[in-house]
Amino acid sequence: MGIKITATGHYLPPQVVSNDDLAKFLDTSDEWIKKRTGISQRHISAGENTSDLAAKAAENILRKRGISGEEIDFIILATMTPDASSPSTACIVQEKIGATKAFCFDINAACSGFVFALSTACHFMRSGMYKKGLVLGAETMSKVINWEDRSTAVLFGDGAGGLLLEESDVDSFVAEDLHSDGSRFMALTADEKKVQNPFLSNEQNEDKQYLKMDGRGIFDFVIRSVPKTINQSIENGGLEKDDISWVVAHQANIRLLEAISKKVKIPLSKFATNIESTGNTSAASIPVLLSHMVDSKQIDIGSGEKLLFTGFGGGLTWGSIIITI
Ligand code: ACO
């Protein structure tokens, strides 16, 4: 049994925050942010939580496919900013979109979350047990950002995107290559919860709510590891680099995409990008970008082009998956 992508969709909260808006309360500038990251603006939630963004992206997907939530067999949602530890954000989305027959759960692999979720969904679908699965990436990064820390506050944005996988006689899944390295977990942390109960012998430190990132360390890790996973997934699929029509990479920094392109020897023109208008939306960045590409007719569903999705981020986690669209 095979899979195919039959619809994409996204939702970005309407409030747009420009670099100049940030420079009003942070010691930063439009020039610094654009030059170091390629970001001009980001969408920031005015109160909508991760499940609200994800449900709107899901409704966008269902509308484009012309089906109702009741036809969905499962929802897998990638996020590092869930509404709560329980229930899963996927279950809240289930309720919002009326996906009454679906089983639902979240995946947390930080900015690699969508690639890991897509891989999981592909393997569920290829078991032949399910007909339709929604794969979503959704984040409200704005709730874990320290808005007084210019080194991280300028990088992130909020949003949600996703795609619908359906069963198919012809299999669109080509190959994958996934990795984690927990020994470097301290490179990116957020919303750390300490044990708090009446039976503690020692006082625990306070929770660390805010995102902390070793930006330079992550930059070096990405340049070393991401070209390798791109090459490995191409090799696993028995393909040549020229067979890949588009690299749909996590949108963290335009300089990272340039460096990856150079190292992997795939022209930058094959790296899709929308970071300029969205910032880094973590697990949402790849599906939002894919949805932008489909909406703008940069790619057509059913065209037979090979897309290489590659994600990287906290954990550390990184990986690639190749799918024919
Ligand atoms: N505005 C102005 N100056 C700033 C800002 C800012 N917003 N932020 C930092 N600076 C200053 C620093 O204080 C430093 O000043 P100094 O030289 O006087 O000490 C200078 O700019 C250079 O700082 P660096 O941190 O060395 O800048 P760098 O060129 O490395 O860029 C950045 C920082 C953009 C964070 C880069 O390292 C990066 O993109 N890293 C990768 C991040 C990433 O990919 N994350 C993805 C994973 S996210 C996830 O998983 C959720």
Q: So where are the chain's domains?
A: 2-171, 174-246+258-265+295-324
**Ligand 1: which of 36, 216, 254, 258 to mutate, most ligand atoms within 8 Å of CB?**
36
Q: Which atom of ligand 1 is nearest to the CA of 211?
A: 51
In short, whether 109's Cβ falls inside 6 Å of ligand 1 is no
Which tens digit of pLDDT belongs to each residue from 213-246? Answer: 999 999 999 999 999 999 999 999 999 999 999 9
| The pLDDT value given to residue 192 | 87
Please provide the average confidence, as pLDDT, over all residues in the chain: 96
Of 284, 296, 317, 292, give the one whose Cα is nearest residue 78: 284
Average pLDDT for 132-155? 97
Give 298 or 203, the one with higher predicted confidence.
Answer: 298
Average pLDDT over residues 195-207: 78
pLDDT score, position 1: 82
**pLDDT tens column, 164-174:** 999 999 999 99
Q: Cα torsion for 256, 159, 55, 295, to the nearest 10°?
A: -70
Question: Would you say residue 208 has pLDDT above 80?
Answer: no
Residue 45 has pLDDT above 90, yes or no: yes
CATH architecture of 174-246+258-265+295-324: 3-Layer(aba) Sandwich (3.40)
Ligand 1 centroid to 162 CA: how many Å?
29
What pLDDT is stored for residue 194 in this prediction? Answer: 85
Annotated catalytic residue within 111, 122, 253, 292: 111
Q: What is the pLDDT of residues 72-120, one digit of tens each?
A: 999 999 999 999 999 999 999 999 999 999 999 999 999 999 999 999 9
For the cut 80, the answer to whether the pLDDT of residue 69 exceeds it is yes
Q: From ligand 1's centre to the CA of 213, what distance in Å?
A: 9
pLDDT reading at 202 higher than 90: no
Output the CA 114–ligand 1 centroid distance in Å.
24
What per-residue confidence (pLDDT) applies to 207?
Answer: 65
Q: Report whether residue 245 contacts ligand 1, using a CB cutoff of 6 Å.
A: no
| Residue 280 falls in the annotated catalytic set | yes
Q: Residue 187 carries which DSSP code?
A: G
Ligand 1 touching residue 37 (CB < 6 A): yes
Q: Which residues have a Cβ under 8 Å from the Cβ of 38 and sit 6 or more positions away?
A: 253, 254, 255, 273, 275, 276
Among the listed residues 9, 6, 75, 1, the one whose alpha carbon sits nearest the alpha carbon of residue 324: 6
Q: What is the DSSP string of 239-254?
A: --GGGEEEEEE--S-H
Domain 2-171 has CATH 1.20.140.10: no
Ligand 1, closest atom to CA 80?
51
236 catalytic, yes or no?
A: no
Q: Is 250 in the active site?
A: yes
* pLDDT, mean of residues 138-162: 97
Q: Do domains 2-171 and 174-246+258-265+295-324 have the same CATH topology?
A: yes
